[in-house]
Amino acid sequence: MSRDAEINAFHGAGGEVAGHFLSDLILPRFKDRGLGRIGLHALDDGATIDRPNQGEIVFTTDSHVVKPLFFPGGDIGRLAAAGTLNDLAVMGARPLALSLAVIVEEGFPMDRLDRVLQSFHDTLAEVDAALLCGDTKVMPHGDLDGLILNSSGIGIASPAVSDASFEAGDVVLVTGTLGDHGMTILLAREQFELQTDLASDVAPVWPLVERALAVGGVRSMKDPTRGGLAAALNEMARKADLGMTVRESAIPIREEVRGLSELLGIPALSVANEGKAVMVVARDRADAILAALRKHPLGMDAAIIGEITTDWPGRVILDTAVGGKRFLDMPLGDPVPRIC
Amino acid sequence: MKRPFSFSDPVRASRLTDAIQRLAPDRPVRIVHVCGTHEAAIAEHGLRGLLPRSVEILEGPGCPVCVTPTQDIDIAVQLAERGTTVCTFGDMMRVPGTRRTLEQARASGGDVRTVLSAADAVGVARTEPQRDVVFFAVGFETTAPMTAAVVVNNPPGNFSVVVSHKRIPPAMAALLDLPNQKIDAYLAPGHVTTVLGTRAYAELSETYKIPVVVGGFEPLDVLYALALAVRQVADGAARVENAFPRATSEQGSPAALALLDEAFEIADGHWRGIGTIPASAFVLRSRYADLDARARYDIHGETGQEEIPGCRCADILTAQAVPTDCPLFSKHCTPLTPIGPCMVGAEGACSIWFRYGGRPDLR
C-alpha cells in the first residue's frame, strides 16, 4: 500500500484490502506483549489475557455504523451490542461486561437515541451482561452522519477458542441461515422498491455457543459478519493453512435471500450476518453439536456444510449444487449490485 | 413462482454432462460465448469442471463496458466536467477513457450518477428540471430497447443521450474473420435472443458454416446448450439451434424490435480492443437528432489511445486468449487496481475469473 494513497471504503469492508491495511499499518507498529495465548497479531475476533488457573479473559472492540439506523429486525443499538457480544462468544467466552461510546450528531432526535439505547440494553439483558462504562461525544451538525456506536467487551473463557486450530477431517457447521442481515440492509438502503418479509438476524449467539461448548469438540469458531461466510471461511482456511470443502446445497439460505441474491447479482455468501456462528468441530461430535444447536430457536436451521481437507491449503472449494467445483474466494470489499 | 425442478438439479446435470462426454469428438472443441452473464454462470456453478478436458469455453466480446470506445467515455467525462449531470450504469464508472474515468470526474466535482435504467435517468431529468441531464447509454440489444423506449416517449427538454449501444451478431461474424481464429461453435446469449429472435443468427451460421446454439443462464440451460453445440460439432453440422425456448422464439420480441427500429438506425461501430465492425452500432435516427448529446453540446471526442501496454484484453475480447494468459492478470491487474477494461467491467472475463478465485477450471 503506498503511503500517499487515501483511505477508501474497501479498507473497512473486511475483505482482501482490509487485510492489507492491518498487515501494513497496524501490526508492524504494535508488538505482541505476551499477555495471553491469543494476541493482537493473531487477528482473531478478540484477544486473551491469561489468568493462571482461572481461564482466560477475552477482550474485544467493535465500532458500528449502519444505514439506515433502524432496519427490519433491529437497529444500531442491537447491532452494537450483538456485534461485540458475538466477538466474545466465538472466542468461547461468556460475555461479562461491555462499554459503550456514543458519538452523535448535533440535532439528532432524542427519541431515536432513546430507542437505540433501550435496544442496546435489551440485547445485553438477553445474555445477562452488564454495561460497565461509557462515553458520549456530540459532533457539530454535518460533521457526522447521525450516530456511531463503539463497544468494547470482556468475557471469560476456559479455555478461549481460536479461529484456526483445527485439522483435516474436522467438520464445518453454521448455526443458521446465511445472508439475512446483509440482504436486509441492502434492501433497506438501496430502495429497490421490492417488498419482502426479510429481517436482519441480529442477535447474540452466546446461547448457541454455550450449548456447543457443553457438548465438547469445538475446535474453532468465527462470526461471519462483514464479507459473510465466504470471508470467514477463507480467513480460517488461510490461518490454519488447510483446505476447506463446502457443499453449496447444504448451506442454509432463505428463499427470499436466494432470490434477492440472484436478482441483484450479489452473492448471499458474501454479505454480513449478525446472529450466526461458523464452527469447526471434531467429526465424532458434529451430530451431537448439531442436535444441541437445533434445540434452540436461534439454531433451528443449523447445518453441517463441509469439512477440512489437505487439498488446496488456505483455500475454500465450493462443491456447487449442480455438481461442479469452484473456489469460494475472499470477497474484495462491500459488494455492489451488478448492473448490466 | 414454484419451479417444477431446480435449474441446478445434479441428476439432470449429470445426464447432460454424460451426453457431452459421449458426443465430444476426439479433438479439441472451442466454444465461444459472447456474454458476461454466461461467463458468470459458468464460473459460479463451476461448470468447466463438469466438461471433458477437450471442450474449451471462451468469452468473446461479451462485456458491453469493455468494448465501449475511449472516445465515448471521453465525451461523457467532458460533459461531466462542463457541469452536465451524467447518468450511467455503475459498471461504466471505473472504465478508463483517454485521460480519466467517470469516477475520477465525479471525485473532482462532476455530477455523475449511477442509474439502473434509462428510465431512471429520465426520472432525474424530471425531478431536477434546472439541470442538464445526459444518459450515457451503453450495452447490447438487452439495454438498447430501454434507451429506445425513453427516446421515443418525449423525454423532458433537459434530457439527452450519448448512444453507445452495440449489436452482438455483427461482432460474432467479425471474430470469425480474424486470422488464425479457431471457433467451433457459438453459444448465443438468451437475453439478446429474447429481443432479436433466433433468426438473427441464421445468416451468420450459414455464411460461416458454424453452429450457433442459443442458451439461457441457469446451469442446466448452459449445459443443455453446450450439449447441443458439441453434438453439432461432432456431426459436422452448422445450424441455429434454440436451447432456451422457454424465453426465446424465432421472431424475437416484436415490441422491442419495433422500438429499436423507431429510435435507431444501424451504422458501423468502433469496439474497443477489436476495431471497427460494419453495421455493429445503433445510432439515433435523424428525427430524434435533438436528443443527441454529442450535437447538443458539440462534443465529439477523438479516437484516443486504447492499447494498454502489457494488457491482453483485446485478445481476450476476441476469444484468442483467456485471462490467465495475461501476465498482468491477478498480479498487477485486479478488480481494485484494474488496468484493462476486461478487469473493470463486472461482465469482463478477467473480473469474473478473479472473483471466482483466479482459476475457474477445477477439473
pLDDT of residue B4: 64
Residue position matching grid coordinates 494498454: B308
Q: Are residues A96 and A202 in the same domain?
A: no
Q: A137 and A179 in one domain?
A: no
**pLDDT 10s digits, B310-330:** 899 999 999 999 999 999 999
Query: What's the pLDDT score for residue A10?
Result: 62
Is the same domain home to A223 and A312?
A: yes
CATH for A316: 3.90.650.10
The predicted-structure confidence for A213-234, as pLDDT tens digits, reads as follows 999 999 999 999 988 999 999 9
Whether residue A334 is contained in a domain is answered as: no
A310 in the same domain as A182:
yes
Under 8 Å CB-to-CB from B16, ≥6 apart: which residues?
B220, B223, B224, B226, B227
CATH code of the domain containing B144: 3.40.50.11740
A13 domain residue, yes or no:
no
What is the overall mean pLDDT for chain B? 93
Q: Are residues A142 and A179 in the same domain?
A: no
Tell me if B133 is assigned to some domain: yes
Residues A307 and A181 reside in one and the same domain? yes
Residue B99 lies in a domain: yes
Q: How far is CA B320 from CA A331, B59, B179, B312, B324, in A?
A: 29, 9, 10, 9, 12
CATH number, residue A101: 3.30.1330.10
Residues forming beta bridges with residue B185, ordered by sequence position: B31
B275 in a domain, yes or no?
A: yes
Structural domain range at position B87: 67-167+254-296
Q: Let me know if residue A123 belongs to a domain.
A: yes
Check if B348 contacts A (Cβ < 8 Å).
no
- A121 and A68 part of one domain: yes
What nine digits make up the cell of A108?
A: 439528532
Percent of chain A topping pLDDT 90: 76
Kindly state whether residue B322 falls inside one of the protein's structural domains: no
Does A327 contact B357 at a Cβ distance shorter than 8 Å? yes
Asked if B362 lies within 8 A of A10 by C-beta distance, the reply is no
Question: What is the model's pLDDT at position B352?
Answer: 93
Residue B309 resides in a domain: no
Helices (H) and strands (E) in chain A, counts: 8, 14
Is the predicted ipTM greater than 0.95, yes or no?
Answer: no
Whether residues A124 and A203 fall in one domain? no
Whether residue A45 contacts residue A160, with contact meaning beta carbons closer than 8 Å, is answered with no
Flag whether A215 is in a domain: yes
Nearest-CB residue to B89 (from A327, A333, A340): A340
Instruction: State yes or no: pLDDT of A340 exceeds 70.
Output: no
Instruction: Examine residue B136 and state whether it is found in any structural domain, yes or no.
Output: yes
Looking at the fold, whether A216 and A68 belong to one and the same domain comes out as: no
In-domain check, residue A260: yes
Instruction: Please check whether residue A141 lies inside any domain of the structure.
Output: yes
Residues B111-136: pLDDT tens digits?
Answer: 999 998 999 999 999 999 999 999 99
Q: Is residue A340 part of a domain?
A: no
Phi, psi (degrees; rounded to nearest 5) at B122: -65, -35
Same-domain pairing of A96 and A141: yes
Final residue in a domain of this structure, among A105, A128, A157: A157
Chain B hits for A245, CB-CB cut-off 8 Å, are none
Query: Residue B83 domain-assigned?
Result: yes
Please give the tally of structural domains in chain A.
2
Residue of A nearest to B63 (CA): A340
Size of interface A-B (CB pairs under 8 A): 93
Assess whether A313 and A179 both reside in one domain: yes
Tell me which residue has cell 446483509.
A182
Give the pLDDT of residue A333.
60
Q: What is the DSSP string of A279-333?
A: EEE-HHHHHHHHHHHHTSGGGTT-EEEEEEESSSTT-EEEE-TTS-EEE-PPP-S
Contact A322 B13 (CB under 8 A): yes
Q: Which of A83, A277, A68 is nearest to A185 (CA)?
A: A68
Does residue B123 belong to any structural domain of this protein? Answer: yes
**What are the distances in angstroms from CA A66 to CA A74, A103, A180, A236, A315?**
11, 13, 15, 26, 30
What are φ and ψ of residue B301, in 5° steps? 65, 170
Mark which of A157, A184, A213 sits at the end of a domain: A157
DSSP A94: E
pLDDT tens digit sequence for A109-135: 999 999 999 999 999 999 999 999 999
Domain count, chain B: 1
Range of the domain at A301: 171-327
Instruction: Indicate whether A274 and A225 sit together in one domain.
Output: yes
B89 to chain A, closest Cα gap in Å: 6
Residue A12 in any domain: the answer is no
